């Protein structure tokens, strides 16, 4: 872990399953690799260290702080470096802009970085008092404040329940709406007060992190993290060369389910309903699952970095389309 200074704050982030990711990506020195979630360039640095001056590395992040610190950290490597402020869903546009047809490997380490969490001003954490922001992309207009003070009850309830899997979602949403009738909820601590006030006192007394699920839910909504994920995974897969690998790290079950389902479809091909006796869609497998089950951090990593405990890594390799095999 290295700490560089970004806008007066150290950019600290411990990369999850670093060795596993690098080994699964099978980096070729002259290859082309992309990191769709550059963050503090932890994984990216390990990839770039394996690339020669003929290799190309593309790093994408929608957080401007992440890009600025990564530019500095990666400048010592000899490969060609392309860093773009973009949403990873738009990876095809990024590659097209740089006239790159396909890549040999893509890594996506989803979610927020520790820097984003631990930088109180960004409003991601219930541990610091700050304006309700939570934007990964500082140029985006929608903030957590707009959601908390603008969304109608039903929508707030659904988000907190589905994205946060919070059992008190109904009361929390009801109390948010009630509270803002007097005065808008402007800060993280004001929101924590409403959340904790929606739970039985005895339950709140059992721990400090009772606002975590609601904060996770709001963060997912602010950053549209789940809606675009399926499309993003398809775009990543489309961008791979034959033999190229896609590695995705997820941090909660909702994300993992999307990745697992997409990978299964790439590796199965056929999308006919189960009850069809024979396949009529004619789709062939386009990928080979490298990790049949998700890889999780070793015990030592989980102990050293508690943020890694919910991480799951899945890897798929793009294969030659069946109709091409045997024609050469």
Ligand X SMILES: C[S@@+](CC[C@H](N)C(=O)[O-])C[C@H]1O[C@@H](n2cnc3c(N)ncnc32)[C@H](O)[C@@H]1O
Residue 37 or 179: the one with the smaller Cβ distance to ligand X is 37
Residue of 6, 37, 125, 169 that binds ligand X (CB under 6 A): 37
Residue 32 or 47: the one with the smaller Cβ distance to ligand X is 47
Least distance from C-beta 180 to ligand X, angstroms? 28
Site string for ligand X, 122-141 (x = CB under 6 A): --------------x-----
- Residue 77 interacts with ligand X (CB under 6 A)? no
Q: Which residue is nearest to ligand X (CB)?
A: 39
Q: SS3 string of the chain?
A: CCCEEECCEEECCCCCCHHHHHHHHCCCCCCEEEECCCCCCHHHHHHHCCCCCCCEEEEEECCHHHHHHHHHHHCCCCCEEEEEECCHHHHHHHHHHCCCCCEEEEEEECCCCHHHHHCHHHCCCCCCCCECCCCCCCCCCCCHHHHHHHCCHHHHHHHHHHHHCCCCHHHHHHHHHHHHHHCCCCEHHHHHHHHHCCCCHHHHCCCCCCCHHHHHHHHHHHCCCCCCHHHHHHHHHHCEEEEEEEEEEECCHHHHHHHHHHHHHHHHCCCCCCCCCCCCCCCCCCEEECCCCCECCCHHHHHHCHHHCCCEEEEEEECCCHHHCCCC
Cβ count within 10 A of residue 263: 22
- Residue 252 interacts with ligand X (CB under 6 A)? no
Site string for ligand X, 80-119 (x = CB under 6 A): -------xx--------------------x-xxx------
Least distance from C-beta 5 to ligand X, angstroms? 16
CA distance 43 to 65: 17
Residue 66 or 159: the one with the smaller Cβ distance to ligand X is 66
The size of the interface with ligand X (CB under 6 A), counted in residues, is 20
Instruction: Answer whether 86's CB lies under 8 Å from 92's CB.
Output: no
- Residue 63 interacts with ligand X (CB under 6 A)? yes
- Residue 39 interacts with ligand X (CB under 6 A)? yes
Per DSSP bridges, beta strands 240-250 and 312-318 are antiparallel
Residue 61 or 317: the one with the smaller Cβ distance to ligand X is 61
Which residues in the 263-322 window bind ligand X by CB under 6 A? none
- Residue 60 interacts with ligand X (CB under 6 A)? yes
Residue 111 or 164: the one with the smaller Cβ distance to ligand X is 111
Least distance from C-beta 69 to ligand X, angstroms? 9
Residue 147 or 222: the one with the smaller Cβ distance to ligand X is 222
Which residues in the 205-234 window bind ligand X by CB under 6 A? none
Report, in angstroms and rounded to the nearest whole number, the Rg of the chain calculated over CA atoms. Answer: 21
Residue 193 or 230: the one with the smaller Cβ distance to ligand X is 230
Instruction: Answer whether 128's CB lies under 8 Å from 120's CB.
Output: yes
**Taking contact as CB under 6 A, which single stretch among the options 56-64, 125-133, 279-287, 291-299 is the one that binds ligand X?**
56-64
Least distance from C-beta 200 to ligand X, angstroms? 34
Residue 91 or 130: the one with the smaller Cβ distance to ligand X is 91
Residue of 20, 33, 40, 176 that binds ligand X (CB under 6 A): 40
CA distance 132 to 310: 25
Which residues in the 154-213 window bind ligand X by CB under 6 A? none
Residue 231 or 242: the one with the smaller Cβ distance to ligand X is 231
Q: Which of 139, 157, 138 is nearest to 147 (CA)?
A: 157
Residues within the interface to ligand X (CB under 6 A): 13, 15, 37, 39-43, 60-63, 66, 87-88, 109, 111-113, 136
């Amino acid at each position: 872990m290295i700490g560089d200074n970004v806008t007066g704050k150290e950019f600290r982030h411990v990369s999850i399953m670093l060795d596993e990711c690098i080994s699964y990506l099978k980096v070729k020195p002259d290859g082309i690799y992309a990191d769709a979630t550059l963050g503090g360039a932890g994984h990216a640095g390990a990839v770039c260290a394996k690339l020669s001056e003929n290799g190309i590395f593309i790093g994408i992040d929608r957080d401007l702080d992440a890009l600025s610190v990564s530019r500095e950290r990666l400048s010592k490597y000899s490969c060609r470096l392309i860093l773009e402020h973009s949403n990873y869903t738009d990876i095809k546009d990024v590659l097209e802009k740089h006239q790159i047809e396909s890549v040999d490997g893509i890594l996506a380490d989803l979610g927020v970085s520790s820097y984003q969490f631990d930088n109180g001003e960004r409003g991601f954490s219930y541990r610091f008092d700050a304006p309700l922001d939570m934007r990964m992309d500082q140029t985006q207009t929608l903030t957590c404040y707009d959601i908390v003070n603008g969304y109608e009850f039903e929508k707030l309830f659904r988000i907190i329940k589905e994205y946060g899997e919070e059992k008190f979602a109904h009361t929390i949403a009801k109390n948010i709406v009630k509270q803002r009738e007097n005065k808008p909820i402007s800060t993280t601590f004001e929101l924590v007060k409403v959340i904790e006030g929606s739970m039985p006192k005895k339950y709140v007394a059992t721990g400090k992190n009772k606002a975590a699920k609601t904060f996770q839910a709001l963060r997912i909504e602010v950053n549209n993290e789940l809606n675009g994920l399926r499309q993003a995974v398809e775009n990543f897969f489309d961008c791979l060369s034959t033999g190229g690998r896609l590695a995705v790290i997820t941090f909660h079950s909702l994300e993992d389910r999307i990745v697992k389902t997409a990978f299964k479809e790439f590796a199965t091909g056929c999308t006919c309903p189960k009850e069809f006796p024979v396949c009529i869609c004619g789709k062939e497998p386009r990928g080979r699952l490298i990790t049949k089950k998700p890889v999780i951090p070793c015990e030592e990593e989980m102990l050293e970095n508690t943020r890694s405990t919910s991480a799951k890594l899945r890897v798929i390799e793009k294969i030659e389309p069946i109709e091409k095999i045997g024609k050469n």
